Amino acid sequence: MNYTITTPLYYVNDRPHLGSAYTTLASDALARYQRLRGRSVMFVTGCDEHGQKIQRTAEAAHVSPQENCNRISEEYRHLWSRWQISNDRFIRTTDPRHKIIVEQFFRRVEAAGDIIEGQQQGWYCVACEEFKDDKIDSEEEERPQCSIHRQYLEWRDEPNLFFRLSHYQEQIEELIRNPNFIFPINRRREIENFVNKGLHDFSISRVNLPWGIPVPGHQGHTFYVWFDALIGYLTALLRSSDPPDLDIIIKRGWPANIHIIGKDILRFHAVYWPAMLMSAGLEIPHKVFGHGFLTREGQKMGKSLGNILNPETLLDQYGRDPVRWYLLRDIPFGEDGDFQQQRFNDLVNNDLANTIGNLLNRTLSMTRRWFSNSVPPADTAISVNHPLAEAALTAISITLQAMEKLDFRCASETILKLAIDANIFLNDQAPWSKIKEEKRKSEVASDLYAVLETTRIVAFLLIPILPELSVRLQKQLGIEKTLDGAEVCVDDSLWDLHLRWGNLVEGNPLPEPTPVIARLELETKK
Ligand code: MSP
């Protein structure tokens, strides 16, 4: 079964920031999870490279727009590879094949009678690349500002081509009534309010904007950046050997199963895009998930405040696992979240180093010492009635359900709780005391087996959230063929098999323990 998942296509007006990394990391976790479940995943990310914002950025940097796009998109590509993002595609909207797909799409929409000429008047935010007429701060202001960017809006009065969105009022109403389409639920209400006010046609072309795809048959018009960018999700699905053809794309994993985006661009994905697709006779994505925004120590991140968290710096300082853990474990996916340095250190140290890392480390040390460096005989621990087996079974079922709902926090907490249960069990059983009596050695073997087996399940459950740490845990447990969810599971029941209690093989050699994660010292309050 196919599973297509997309991140937004990021604007190349600036370098990647933590906001873009957040969406991409969460999407990566979902992509890995779906692969482990045996689905043939198509994970798309990329860059959105046209429009006024990009043109102006290039002008300010005294380079051509194309040069600027090449440079910044390369930074994105490089960043994702450093984060070991498992994307299958990286689409750039300046790809020549994309131009052809946009033209084909437009011709379909035009043939459906949904393109009309009109005059566009209104206040425009270049930073948002959006008309703001329904969102401006104050009617009285002579020159209103954008409430998001605090930049002056620009008055536009020009002939544009319009997409007949109003024609799709009923179909969009029906679509957003589908309880499985927009997530999280509170954001669905925002969209309902917007749609209930009545949908207006929106302009899909610009005049006097050279940095865009020319509209076929309409001299002097280039496509509005959003019209072109959304179609990028389709172009991305083409294989390198495919000719650029919309009819082929629909066989390559369209419709998307999910678009993961930030809450600020939900309207484009849940209203404009579905209507465009309806007009072009293409299927609608199954789900749109609008996550929240990140702040830092309670403050909005911005250049002027000088508090932007650079994902590259975070990676250099802490590595992949700690950042993934913090973002996915601490912030309810869908709600806004705050990055706090102290809490970051505490969670990494308590959860990963102390609870999970230590559990494995001390269990391995004892096992190796008393059972000749290998997995001890299981005896009673193999029984599914063992308290840790029961705990593991519950944790597996909750984690899988949570991952289906993109509830990364619940999944992470559940896995962590399983590790805590194993720690408690170990402390209660105190094998270090029991081992002093020779006749209790088999009991000790059982206890240690049960704890190692729980740690193995913790490791396998963790794959989507912390693939790297998981692989280290797997290796420490002597598992040779490790899994990280980056590749399609050829055997789609493989993960399920790994998630069965009692899979750790008695007598298997256990390597010498090394710390799986370093503790963080709080060196700065900044
Ligand atoms: N180019 C459009 C998307 C086109 S998709 C066909 C765009 N790009 S963007 O680079 O401005 O934003 C990309 C994503 O980053 C958006 O989903 C946005 O919500 C997200 N974020 C931007 N700042 C953010 C935070 N501070 N926190 C979390 N996500 C944030 O929009």
Phi, psi of 434 (to 5 degrees): -60, -35
**Residue 337 forms part of a structural domain:** no
23 ligand 1 Cβ < 6 A:
yes
Q: Do residue 275 and residue 391 come from a single domain?
A: no
The closest of 74, 160, 37, 169 to 492, measured between CA atoms, is 37
Q: Tell the residue nearest (CA) to atom 10 of ligand 1.
A: 10
What letter represents residue 73's amino acid?
A: S
264 ligand 1 Cβ < 6 A:
yes
Q: Do residue 152 and residue 236 come from a single domain?
A: yes
Q: Tell the residue nearest (CA) to atom 11 of ligand 1.
A: 11
pLDDT at 16 (0 to 100): 87
Pocket test for ligand 1, best of 48, 233, 272 (most atoms within 8 A of CB): 48
The closest of 418, 508, 404 to 454, measured between CA atoms, is 418
Q: Do residue 274 and residue 418 come from a single domain?
A: no
Q: What is the pLDDT of residues 171-200, one digit of tens each?
A: 999 999 999 999 999 999 999 999 999 999
pLDDT at 285 (0 to 100): 98
List, in order, residues 6 or more apart from 119 with CB less than 8 Å away. Answer: 157, 158, 159, 160
Own/partner pairs, 192-200, CB within 8 angstroms, 24+ separation: 194/267, 194/271, 195/169, 195/271, 197/134, 198/166, 198/169, 199/165, 199/166, 199/168, 199/169, 199/172, 199/271, 199/275, 200/165, 200/166
333 ligand 1 Cβ < 6 A:
no
**CATH number for 433:** 1.10.730.10
Q: Do residue 276 and residue 387 come from a single domain?
A: no
Q: Do residue 104 and residue 249 come from a single domain?
A: yes
Kindly provide the residue ranges of all beta strands, DSSP E only, lying in 12-145, ordered along the sequence.
40-48, 89-92, 115-125, 130-131
* Count of all residues that appear for the chain in the document: 526
Q: Do residue 490 and residue 358 come from a single domain?
A: yes
Q: Tell the residue nearest (CA) to atom 19 of ligand 1.
A: 262
412 by Cβ neighbours in 10 Å (0-12 / 13-18 / 19+) ranks as buried
Beta strand pairing status for 288-291 and 258-262? parallel
Rounded Cα–Cα distance for residues 197 and 472 (Å): 53
Pocket test for ligand 1, best of 53, 264, 303, 331 (most atoms within 8 A of CB): 264
51 ligand 1 Cβ < 6 A:
no
261 ligand 1 Cβ < 6 A:
yes
* Whole-structure pTM value: 0.95
Distance 67 CA to ligand 1 centre (A): 22
Q: Do residue 346 and residue 282 come from a single domain?
A: no
Q: Do residue 270 and residue 162 come from a single domain?
A: yes
What letter represents residue 133's amino acid?
A: D
262 ligand 1 Cβ < 6 A:
yes
Phi, psi of 248 (to 5 degrees): -80, -40
Distance 229 CA to ligand 1 centre (A): 13
pLDDT at 136 (0 to 100): 56
Question: Ligand 1, closest atom to CA 300?
Answer: 26
Rounded Cα–Cα distance for residues 447 and 380 (Å): 9
**Residue 272 forms part of a structural domain:** yes
Q: Tell the residue nearest (CA) to atom 17 of ligand 1.
A: 262
Token pair, residue 206, equals: 């610009």
The closest of 33, 16, 6, 22 to 328, measured between CA atoms, is 22
Q: Tell the residue nearest (CA) to atom 24 of ligand 1.
A: 19
**CATH number for 169:** 3.40.50.620
Distance 149 CA to ligand 1 centre (A): 13
Looking at the 3D structure of the chain, how many domains does it have?
2
**Residue 133 forms part of a structural domain:** yes
CB distance 141 to 150 below 8 Å? no
Question: Ligand 1, closest atom to CA 230?
Answer: 6
Distance 193 CA to ligand 1 centre (A): 22
Q: Tell the residue nearest (CA) to atom 6 of ligand 1.
A: 230
13 ligand 1 Cβ < 6 A:
no
265 ligand 1 Cβ < 6 A:
yes
Q: What is the pLDDT of residues 470-519, one digit of tens each?
A: 999 999 999 999 999 998 766 667 888 899 999 999 999 999 999 999 88
**Residue 254 forms part of a structural domain:** yes
DSSP notation for 420-474 = HHHHHHHHHH-HHHHTTSGGGHHHHHHHHHHHHHHHHHHHHHHTTT-HHHHHHHH
293 ligand 1 Cβ < 6 A:
yes
Q: How many CB atoms lie within 10 A of CB 282?
A: 18
Distance 288 CA to ligand 1 centre (A): 14
Last-in-domain residue among 250, 276, 291 = 291
**Residue 182 forms part of a structural domain:** yes
The closest of 466, 520, 483 to 325, measured between CA atoms, is 466
Distance 119 CA to ligand 1 centre (A): 29
Q: Do residue 361 and residue 285 come from a single domain?
A: no
Phi, psi of 335 (to 5 degrees): -100, 165
Local structure of residue 258 (DSSP, 8 states):
E
Rounded Cα–Cα distance for residues 106 and 104 (Å): 5
Distance 509 CA to ligand 1 centre (A): 47
Q: Do residue 285 and residue 355 come from a single domain?
A: no
- Category of 488 on φ-ψ map: left (φ > 0), alpha (ψ -120 to 50) or beta: beta
- In 156-270, which ranges are continuous DSSP H helix? 169-177, 185-196, 225-235, 246-249, 266-267
Token pair, residue 360, equals: 């494995």
Ordered per-residue pLDDT tens for the chain, 526 residues: 899 999 999 999 888 889 889 999 999 999 999 999 999 999 999 999 999 999 999 999 999 999 999 999 999 999 999 999 999 999 999 999 999 999 999 999 999 999 999 998 999 999 888 898 765 555 556 788 888 777 889 999 999 999 999 999 999 999 999 999 999 999 999 999 999 999 999 999 999 899 999 999 999 999 999 999 999 999 999 999 999 999 999 999 999 999 999 999 999 999 999 999 999 999 999 999 999 999 999 888 876 667 888 899 999 999 999 999 999 999 999 999 999 999 999 999 999 999 999 999 999 999 999 999 999 998 877 888 999 999 999 999 999 999 999 999 999 999 999 999 999 999 999 999 999 999 999 999 999 999 999 999 999 999 999 999 999 999 999 999 999 999 876 666 788 889 999 999 999 999 999 999 988 886 644 4
How wide is the angle at C-alpha 452 spanned by C-alphas 447 and 457, nearest 5°?
Answer: 125
Dmax (CA) of the chain: 91
Distance 143 CA to ligand 1 centre (A): 26
Distance 21 CA to ligand 1 centre (A): 10
The closest of 326, 512, 497 to 412, measured between CA atoms, is 326
Rounding to the nearest 10 degrees, give the CA dihedral for residues 230, 232, 235, 237: -90
Rounding to the nearest 10 degrees, give the CA dihedral for residues 91, 94, 100, 101: 40
The closest of 336, 486, 355 to 415, measured between CA atoms, is 355
65 ligand 1 Cβ < 6 A:
no
**Residue 336 forms part of a structural domain:** no
**Residue 526 forms part of a structural domain:** no
For 465-504, letters b (16+ CB in 10 Å) and e give bbbbbbbbbbebbbbeebbbbbeebeeeeebbebbebbeb
9 ligand 1 Cβ < 6 A:
yes
Q: Do residue 216 and residue 277 come from a single domain?
A: yes
Rounded Cα–Cα distance for residues 25 and 321 (Å): 11
Q: Do residue 96 and residue 168 come from a single domain?
A: yes
160 by Cβ neighbours in 10 Å (0-12 / 13-18 / 19+) ranks as buried
Distance 73 CA to ligand 1 centre (A): 15
* Residue corresponding to tokens 């689905």: 39
274 ligand 1 Cβ < 6 A:
no
Run of H or E residues at 154: strand 154-163
Rounded Cα–Cα distance for residues 216 and 102 (Å): 10
**Residue 361 forms part of a structural domain:** yes
Q: For residue 454, what are the domain limits?
A: 342-498
DSSP notation for 10-45 = EETTS---HHHHHHHHHHHHHHHHHHHTT-EEEEEE
pLDDT at 496 (0 to 100): 85
